[in-house]
Amino acid sequence: MKTKLGYLLAIFLLMAGTVSAENITVFVHGKSGNNFCNPDDTKDLVQNSTTSYWGAQANSVSGKKFFVGYDGTSDPRTYGSCRAQTILSKVLSTRCRGADTCKIVCHSAGCYATEYWLSYLGGTASSKGYKISGVTALAAASGGSELASALNGLTFGFAGNAMDKALIVSNARSSFNHNNTAGVTVAHVPGYKGMIGASAILPGEDDYAVAYHSACGYSQAAGLSKCQSSITQYDGIWPFGGNKTYTQYIGHTRAPSVPSEGLYENHSEVCNDGWR
């Protein structure tokens, strides 16, 4: 009888643990003129409490949501009060190391912050106790933006805030190992609804803020028109150029529901696609 009761108790405890576990979504915003820092970011925040950056666009994702809020003018690689790395670490450590499994949805420089954090985790996410099912990278700026590079060059480095400096293409690409995603797949969602002016500076397809080489996680900056594991194209002025193959970083892929051409959406509109 005792053996039977013990067996039933074990089943009950196992079922209770299973029921209590949830799949949650952690949102990480990008560049902004606002400071979305909130000391309660590890709690179950209502959507517009401190993260109006996302607005109603976060509603495309069902279930429980948590929002990483930091100073949108600061360098996404830094730690400190209201800094992306500190708040991101706090939220993920609190919410993703217990029974719950997290999916991260990042936008623009929020993906820069997320990928940077993963690269310096010091092992796979699972080996460090994190339950992270994947990252949906919306218009990722982790490869930098030529707009930031142009601003820096035209003003001889005098214009722009810390975020702008971090987004300079050479800075973004050299500051961490993009191939190290801590065993977590980064699924990219790019947009190609550009804008006159910005699109003249951004190479290849773009969403008026970042080009495909960044939004798709390619290992080199170039003018690319497709988002896929690799693409071979003719580079240079004919007949002096030649074919060159560009590949995505290890651990990076295009989100399965997105065609290789990407989505006809601009940088802001892509925020609606966190469900992918």
The string of pLDDT tens digits covering residues 65-76 is 888 989 999 999
The token pair that represents 109 in the structure block:
């420089």
222-259 pLDDT per residue, tens: 999 999 999 999 998 898 999 999 999 999 999 999 99
Buried b (16+ CB within 10 A) or exposed e, 68-88: bbbbbebbbbbeeebbbbbbb
Q: Is the pLDDT of residue 11 over 50?
A: no
Neighbouring C-beta atoms of residue 222, cutoff 10 Å: 16
- Say what the pLDDT of residue 45 is: 47
For the chain, the structural domain boundaries read 23-273
pLDDT (tens digit, 9 = 90+) per residue, 21-39?
Answer: 899 999 999 999 988 886 5
- Residue, of 93 and 37, whose pLDDT is higher: 93
Q: What percent of the chain has pLDDT above 70?
A: 88
Q: Nearest to residue 76, comparing CAs of 118, 39, 27, 112?
A: 112
Predicted confidence (pLDDT) at residue 50 exceeds the cutoff of 50: no
The DSSP H or E segment spanning 114 is helix 109-119
**Four-way CATH pick for 23-273: 3.40.50, 3.30.2390, 3.30.70, 1.10.287:** 3.40.50
Question: What is the average pLDDT value for the chain, to the nearest integer?
Answer: 90
Comparing 56 with 40, the larger pLDDT belongs to 56
**Residues β-bridged to residue 235:** 242
Give residue 47's pLDDT. Answer: 42
Contacts (Cβ under 8 Å, ≥6 apart) of 44: 64, 66
Task: For residue 142, give Cα distances in angstroms to 35, 39, 72, 243.
Answer: 20, 26, 15, 26
d(CA 182, CA 132): 10
User: pLDDT digit string (tens) for 200-209?
Assistant: 999 999 999 9
Can you give the pLDDT at residue 43?
52
Could you tell me the pLDDT band of residue 41, with boundaries at 50, 70 and 90?
low
Whole-model pTM: value is 0.90
pLDDT band at 260, cuts 50/70/90?
Answer: very high
Q: Which residue has the tokens 């190609």?
A: 192
pLDDT at 39: 56
